[in-house]
């Protein structure tokens, strides 16, 4: 190797070493629905609406949270109550006599959805 080629090699190597470190931090996300209800936590880059979360939030994987205006809100489980309410437009189709039985929309049904309230 001649002297110029060696100098060029070491100069390029030095620039490569002094370059910015690639971001190798793992992805930690909370995926949520249109109402801000959590769906799941994942370390994968998946399609859907998500919020990047820190390590502690990811490890706790609490479902007692909501996303509002792009921020994570932790719920006090004793102040917030989930209940099923009739929703004729976008709920889950259930048997007319038993809400625990999901039926096809072609059968007679009542639609129910989950409402979170205070």
Residue 18 has pLDDT above 70, yes or no: no
Tell me, yes or no, whether 31 lies in a domain.
Answer: yes
Mean of the per-residue pLDDT values of the chain = 85
pLDDT at 9: 84
How many residues appear in the chain? 118
The verdict on 70 and 92 lying in the same domain is no
Q: Between 19 and 103, name the one with better pLDDT.
A: 103
Q: Tell me the C-alpha distance between 108 and 84, whole Å.
A: 19
Hey, how many other C-beta atoms are within 10 angstroms of the C-beta on 32? 19
Tell me, yes or no, whether 42 lies in a domain.
Answer: yes
Tell me, yes or no, whether 2 lies in a domain.
Answer: no
Q: What is the pLDDT of residues 22-36, one digit of tens each?
A: 666 678 999 999 999
Residue 93 has pLDDT above 60, yes or no: yes
Tell me, yes or no, whether 112 lies in a domain.
Answer: yes
Tell me, yes or no, whether 58 lies in a domain.
Answer: yes
Q: Into how many domains does the chain fold?
A: 2
pLDDT at 84: 85
Tell me, yes or no, whether 9 lies in a domain.
Answer: no
The DSSP string of 21-65 is PP--PPP-EEEE-TTS-EEEEESS--SS-EEE--HHHHHH--SSE
| Domain of 113, in residue numbers | 81-117
């Amino acid at each position: 190797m001649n002297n110029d080629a060696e100098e060029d090699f070491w100069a390029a190597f030095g620039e490569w070493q002094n370059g910015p470190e690639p971001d190798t931090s793992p992805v930690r996300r909370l995926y949520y629905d249109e109402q801000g209800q959590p769906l799941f936590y994942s370390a994968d880059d998946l399609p859907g609406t998500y919020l990047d979360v820190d390590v502690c939030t990811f490890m706790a994987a609490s479902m007692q949270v909501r996303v509002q205006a792009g921020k994570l809100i932790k719920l006090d489980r004793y102040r917030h109550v989930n209940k099923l309410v009739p929703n004729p437009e976008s709920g889950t189709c259930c048997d007319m006599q038993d809400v625990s039985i999901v039926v096809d929309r072609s059968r007679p049904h009542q639609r129910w959805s989950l409402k979170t309230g205070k």
